[in-house]
Amino acid sequence: MSAQGDQEDWTRHRQEVFEAKERALHAARQAEHEKATTMIREAITRFREAGIAPVPLRAKPYAGPGTIRTALEGWYLKKDRTLAVDTEGRYYVMRVDGGLRSRLQGATPEPRPAPLVVGRGARDGDSFDLPELLQMRLEDPVRP
């Protein structure tokens, strides 16, 4: 076999390994999201049973003061109101563009895949296991 053939085989093998790792990573993230979403939906049931009603959710701009109206209703997961879940169990990072249009018309944050560890990779004290965070909000909800 020629040197060029060896190079092509190596390149093809490397691409196949890369694609297999990408598929495995995507599957793991999807499984994590599904498990986390199940936990969130169970927590929502507990919130409702405890009389903790959903609240109108407001987003914070990436830069600048104040908050921005959204059409979402749900529960904040963190006291700083940067993370929330809606009444359907979708997970949100409550940050949006703070331009004039969104300040006047409101904004719609996009749901994100729910993690099992919230704030993974953050400073000490800024990451929480999802079940722990949901229990904290059951015991000490963020009120409007």
4-54 confidence digits (pLDDT tens): 777 888 888 888 888 888 988 888 888 898 999 999 999 999 999 999 999
- Which contacts qualify for 130-139: CB closer than 8 Å, 24 or more apart? 130/36, 130/39, 130/40, 131/39, 133/77, 133/78, 134/39, 134/40, 134/43, 134/77, 137/43, 137/47, 137/52, 137/75, 137/76, 137/77, 138/43, 138/46, 138/47, 138/50, 138/52
45-79 confidence digits (pLDDT tens): 999 999 999 999 999 998 888 899 999 999 999 99
What's the confidence (pLDDT) of residue 57? 97
Structure tokens at 56: 């109108």
Q: What is the pTM of this model?
A: 0.81
